[in-house]
Chain A
Amino acid sequence: MFLSMEHLNKTYPGGKVAVEDFNLEVEKGEFVCFIGTSGSGKTTTMRMINRMLQQTSGTIKINGKDISQMDPVKLRRKIGYVIQNIGLMPHMTIRQNITLVPKLLKWPQDKMNERAKRMIKLVDLPEEFLDRYPSELSGGQQQRIGVVRALAADQDIILMDEPYGALDPITRESLQDLIKDLQERLGKTIIFVTHDMDEALTLATKIVVMDSGKIMQVATPDEILRHPANEFVENLIGKDRLIQARPSITTVGQVMLKNVAAITPDKLLKEALKMMHDRRVDSLLVTDDGGTLKGYIDIEDIDYNFKTATSVGDVMHEDVFYVKSDSLVRDTVERILKRGFKNIPVVDNDHKLVGIVTRAALVDIVYDALWGDEDKKDDSEDTKTSAAAADQGGDAK
């Protein structure tokens, strides 16, 4: 494990518990977002990684080595550090700022110059900026420099403490793209503290939700949207985002009907007809004894072949269209609708029949996605109108 944090606790003098039994394993190249409200302990936890804060108990290991055994100064030179207020040195040029850590590591001047040029190219800023001072750059440009300053000495881990909190939304978005791209391209491991769920969902490969010093949930963005661990996480994500996310993350398995009429190929057509009649359906799915989907048979097939054939297996269609239960509705709904089938069989990964999707269920999904929000709006307008009516009534008196 690249970075592991075990049973971390942080209690401030006076008994205030900032972090409680924090456990996390981070692989190399992961983009981990710590998210929570203020006072949730996310920044405190992050600052323990480069020993800006000392944990009360617990261990942090990088590449298996306990960081409390390392020289904190040397440790920090190996860990990139980006803070919300950017923290560029105002009395140093951009070049000096970028090469601050390399200089501490006593790199030769040529190597530092070459690195400064490469770094500024990395964030799409012109080379002339190297000799400017931070106050001559815009906030967004300054934070770009803040980001490469944390990369310039080949740091493998980058800690970022709400780095974009003070930037306007457009600048923030472009910097999010930049860091995501850099992270993927350079294979850096990033620990990113934020209180913005959109930011976490966009950037993270792993989200750590914290509240009052405790971990609420550790999961991928998809998982968190699909299965928020508790009410706190749900609230943090927000109802709007959950509703929006539903059509995109709902799987076929979640909307299918599970009670399916199926028949085995060895059954007689007579039995098939009886089954259709009993269940009031015009077609049946055919599965073998193990439940594996083989095909389908409908009433016309039985009608045409009743005299010549005897068993279901003789007349069934084998070219049955089906969908997998774990595929996303978003990806399948269009295909299903285009084909014009009434019912689509759903199979699991072993090709076993597990359910069907009816067109009625699909209509519900499409309806929710398109009109769900507007329904609510209509409701609130209704109440407004009635309230207005009541007002008028009052005036009349």
Chain B
Amino acid sequence: MMHFLSVYGLSLLGKTWQHIYISGISLGLGTIVAVPLGIALTRTKRTASIVISIASMLQTIPALALLAFMIPLFGIGAKPAIIALFIYSLLPILRNTYIGMNDVDPTLKDAAKGMGMTGWQSIIKVEVPLAAPVIMSGIRLSATYVIAWAALASYIGAGGLGDFIFNGLNLYRSDLILGGSIPVIILALLVDWVLGKVETALTPQTTEG
């Protein structure tokens, strides 16, 4: 263990940073696109089912196949990996946003409208705050997926902790495989824990204490 760290320590830090970078950007982009899209979909129910089925379909493409598919389009490196992971991150966030917004008590939406809120005010002041916990759990789910799948991105030259794993597989070196996998697991758990805290913070207060 100490031996492994003394040999690979510096490179492990670098790869971990790459991993965080790739997953972070994909997840960030996914959130920026999927949350507003999910909100918009609640206003047009008919389009909603179409868009969500398309997103579900994208989700069924095997991760490796999708990554390989990116090479002819975007070449190799971090960019195609980020795009592929971004596509993967969309569905859980999109679906949770849509469900969360739709699950807001219709009487509250009715009251908001009836008291003279514009559609926009109703979204910002009523629906999004109340749907926030559900939206956040979608983002948490996506984050876990993206961090795990980012390990595969090394396959198309994106770097990250996947490099250790693939090297280990090629060289039959279990220490390299573990050295890559364990940080990925720790990273996933850590991010999930942090986002869990964010979720709690965003959950609207409904009692004084």
CB distance from B110 to the nearest CB of A (A): 7
Bound Cα distance A135, B130 (Å): 14
B207 interfacial by beta-carbon distance below 8 Å: yes
Assess the B121–A83 pair: CB atoms within 8 A.
no
CB distance from B104 to the nearest CB of A (A): 10
**Chain A residues with CB under 8 A of B207:** 133, 135-136
Assess the B208–A87 pair: CB atoms within 8 A.
no
Docked complex: A60-112 residues within 8 A CB-CB of B: 73-78, 81, 83, 85-91, 100-101, 104
Given known A83-B107, A83-B110, contact A91–B205 (CB-CB < 8 A): yes
CB distance from B207 to the nearest CB of A (A): 5
Assess the B113–A52 pair: CB atoms within 8 A.
yes
Produce 1/0 per residue, B96-122, CB < 8 A to A: 000000000101101111111110010
B126 interfacial by beta-carbon distance below 8 Å: yes
Bound Cα distance A104, B118 (Å): 9
Assess the A135–B115 pair: CB atoms within 8 A.
no
Assess the A89–B116 pair: CB atoms within 8 A.
no
B204 interfacial by beta-carbon distance below 8 Å: yes
CB < 8 Å neighbour of B206 from A75, A85, A133, A159: A133
Bound Cα distance A234, B138 (Å): 57
Assess the B108–A74 pair: CB atoms within 8 A.
no
CB distance from A29 to the nearest CB of B (A): 22
A271 interfacial by beta-carbon distance below 8 Å: no
Bound Cα distance A131, B107 (Å): 23
**Chain B residues with CB under 8 A of A76:** 113-116
B129 interfacial by beta-carbon distance below 8 Å: yes
Bound Cα distance A78, B206 (Å): 28
CB distance from B129 to the nearest CB of A (A): 5
Assess the A85–B107 pair: CB atoms within 8 A.
yes
Docked complex: B44-82 residues within 8 A CB-CB of A: none
Bound Cα distance A50, B114 (Å): 7
A121 interfacial by beta-carbon distance below 8 Å: no
Assess the A133–B205 pair: CB atoms within 8 A.
yes
CB distance from A357 to the nearest CB of B (A): 54
Given known A87-B111, A91-B130, contact A101–B206 (CB-CB < 8 A): no
Please tell me the size bucket of the interface on B.
Answer: 20 to 34
CB distance from B42 to the nearest CB of A (A): 18
A132 interfacial by beta-carbon distance below 8 Å: yes
Assess the B108–A77 pair: CB atoms within 8 A.
no
**Chain B residues with CB under 8 A of A83:** 107, 110-111, 114
Given known A73-B118, A131-B208, A133-B205, contact A89–B113 (CB-CB < 8 A): no
**Chain A residues with CB under 8 A of B130:** 90-91
Number of A interface residues, CB 8 Å? Answer: 28
CB distance from A87 to the nearest CB of B (A): 3
Who on chain B is nearest to A149 by CB? B115
Produce 1/0 per residue, B130-153, CB < 8 A to A: 100000000000000000000000
CB distance from A103 to the nearest CB of B (A): 9
CB distance from A190 to the nearest CB of B (A): 15
Assess the B206–A90 pair: CB atoms within 8 A.
yes
Assess the B108–A89 pair: CB atoms within 8 A.
yes
Assess the A81–B114 pair: CB atoms within 8 A.
yes
**Chain B residues with CB under 8 A of A101:** 115-116
Who on chain B is nearest to A52 by CB? B114
Docked complex: B169-209 residues within 8 A CB-CB of A: 204-208
Who on chain A is nearest to B114 by CB? A81
Bound Cα distance A16, B208 (Å): 47
CB distance from B112 to the nearest CB of A (A): 8
Assess the B208–A132 pair: CB atoms within 8 A.
yes
Assess the A77–B110 pair: CB atoms within 8 A.
no
CB distance from A106 to the nearest CB of B (A): 12
CB distance from B124 to the nearest CB of A (A): 12
Bound Cα distance A85, B207 (Å): 19
**Chain B residues with CB under 8 A of A100:** 115
**Chain A residues with CB under 8 A of B204:** 90-91
Bound Cα distance A83, B129 (Å): 22
CB < 8 Å neighbour of B129 from A87, A88, A91, A133: A91
Bound Cα distance A395, B202 (Å): 75
Who on chain A is nearest to B117 by CB? A104
**Chain A residues with CB under 8 A of B206:** 90-91, 133-135
CB distance from A335 to the nearest CB of B (A): 52
Docked complex: A39-55 residues within 8 A CB-CB of B: 50, 52
Given known A91-B130, A104-B115, A104-B116, contact A52–B110 (CB-CB < 8 A): yes
CB distance from B43 to the nearest CB of A (A): 16
CB < 8 Å neighbour of B108 from A87, A133, A135, A159: A87
Given known A83-B110, A104-B121, contact A77–B205 (CB-CB < 8 A): no
Bound Cα distance A77, B115 (Å): 6
**Chain A residues with CB under 8 A of B108:** 87, 89-90
**Chain B residues with CB under 8 A of A75:** 116
- For this complex, 10 residue pairs linking A to B, each with C-beta atoms less than 8 Å apart, are A75-B116, A87-B105, A89-B112, A91-B130, A132-B208, A133-B205, A133-B206, A134-B206, A135-B206, A136-B208
B interface vs A, CB < 8 Å? 105, 107-108, 110-118, 121, 126, 129-130, 204-208
19 further A-B pairs in the complex, CB-CB below 8 A; given A90-B204, A133-B207: A73-B117, A75-B116, A76-B114, A76-B115, A81-B114, A81-B115, A87-B107, A89-B111, A89-B126, A90-B206, A91-B205, A101-B116, A104-B115, A104-B117, A132-B208, A133-B208, A135-B206, A135-B207, A159-B114
